[in-house]
Amino acid sequence: MPLVTTTELFKKAYEGKFAIGAFNVNNMEIVQGIIEAAKAENSGVILQASAGARKYASAEFLKALVEAAEKESSLPIALHLDHGDSFEICKQCIDDGFTSVMIDGSSLPIEENIALTKKVVEYAHSKGVVVEAELGKLAGVEDDVKVDAADATYTDPDDAVRFVKETNVDSLAIAIGTSHGAYKFSGDAKLDFERLEVISNKLPGFPLVLHGASSVPAELVDLCNKYGGNIPGAKGVPEEMLSKAAEYGVCKINVDTDLRLAMTAAIRKVFNENPAEFDPRKYLGPGRQAIKEIVQHKIKNVFRCSNSAK
Ligand code: G3H
Ligand code: 13P
Ligand code: ZN
């Protein structure tokens, strides 16, 4: 099956009250680890490339890796641009064969965000590609841009309705308390479920997206720290909150940080146990296996999208 858009995946997810995992990819081992997990769970999956990923690996290499994954697995896989910040980058990815793009105008005033999103939607739809936009502002670090918690703004439900209506966008990332990176909460983890429910009720049938949704499992942080890391105080979104969000119209859940932690912990372990190791396969292999394990856990137990490939 060729690469798919997210339309069918989201339709099933919305109806079944589960979410499709969207995982950031930067190299071959990450793509392979995610696909092994998706295969084991017979799940559709979204592989997404940030600006940093495209700078590191290039869009061509990432696309070729994702196409190889699709050929080898026959799963429904969407190739998505994560946090596109201009019409030009969205257009380039659409022209290059991405099946979904995000235009992130969340830092702009709403009128400008609407105008920019509308322009991307018109071009994307003319090429059969779907568009995710963002309204509201998440805290945290993404692509070297740091938004302080004080500058984060939750999504206004009425603005969300207006935004979707005026842009004709296919999905919308909303801000309800998640944030990018490993440090999401200084105190107790809290998401604004009341706000999510209101937004979801006002947009029936419409797929919502959660960014900044890594759970930052304590055991992974401990593993990283045990083998020489130094990431004290990291705290993510509890898994049960993500499962609950999926019941309120959240059809796409973005995860990057947890994959980084899992891969890094596995690689650190190899070097800790054998500092003389110098065959990349001996440390990237365990890194890939760790990605598979965490992605499979999320697909099966957290997002509950096992067998969504049917
Ligand atoms: O939302 C951001 C993702 O974690 C991508 O991170 O821009 O460092 O590749 P990156
Ligand atoms: P995390 O940093 O929580 O993994 O979020 C990733 C993300 O939102 C990618 O767009
Ligand atoms: Zn994001």
Tell me the average pLDDT of the chain: 95
Catalytic residues: 82
Ligand whose nearest atom lies closest to the CA of 51 = 1
Alpha helices (H) along 24-95:
28-41, 51-57, 59-73, 87-95
Check pLDDT > 90 for residue 100. Answer: yes
Give whole-number Cα distances, 260 to 27, 126, 187, in Å.
12, 36, 23
- Neighbour order of strands in the sheet with 179-180: 145-147, 139-142, 179-180
CB-based contact 308:77 (threshold 8 Å): no
Predicted local confidence at residue 147, as pLDDT: 67
Residue found under tokens 């257009």? 91
φ, ψ (nearest 5 deg) of residue 148: -70, 150
Band of pLDDT at residue 140, cut at 50, 70 and 90: confident
Residue 260 CB less than 6 A away from ligand 1: no
Predicted local confidence at residue 310, as pLDDT: 83
Residue 45 lies in a domain: yes
Question: How many angstroms does the Cα of residue 20 sit away from the middle of ligand 3?
Answer: 15
Residue 134 CB less than 6 A away from ligand 2: no
Residue 309 lies in a domain: no
Check pLDDT > 70 for residue 141. Answer: no
Residue 2 lies in a domain: no
Domain that holds residue 149: 7-302
Residue found under tokens 């994702």? 66
DSSP string, 209-239: EE-S-----HHHHHHHHHTT---TT-B---H
Give the pLDDT confidence of 157-208 residue by residue, as tens digits: 999 999 999 999 999 999 999 999 999 998 999 999 999 999 999 999 999 9
Number of structural domains (the chain) is 1
Residue 40 lies in a domain: yes
Nearest-angstrom CA–CA distance, 308 and 310: 5
Ligand whose nearest atom lies closest to the CA of 50 = 1
Residue 256 has what DSSP assignment? Answer: -
Band of pLDDT at residue 139, cut at 50, 70 and 90: confident
Residue 1 lies in a domain: no
Nearest-angstrom CA–CA distance, 213 and 41: 20
Residue 310 lies in a domain: no
Residue 79 CB less than 6 A away from ligand 2: no
Comparing CA positions, the residue from 52, 257, 252 lying closest to residue 140 is 257
Question: How many angstroms does the Cα of residue 304 sit away from the middle of ligand 1?
Answer: 24
For residue 200, the one-letter residue type is S
Band of pLDDT at residue 144, cut at 50, 70 and 90: low
User: Of how many residues is the chain composed?
Assistant: 310
Give the pLDDT confidence of 218-237 residue by residue, as tens digits: 999 999 999 888 898 899 99
CATH number of the domain residue 257 falls in = 3.20.20.70
Residue 308 lies in a domain: no
Residue 245 lies in a domain: yes
**Substitution site in 107, 132, 143, 258 for ligand 1 pocket (most atoms within 8 Å of beta carbon):** 143
Predicted local confidence at residue 232, as pLDDT: 86
φ, ψ (nearest 5 deg) of residue 299: -60, -45
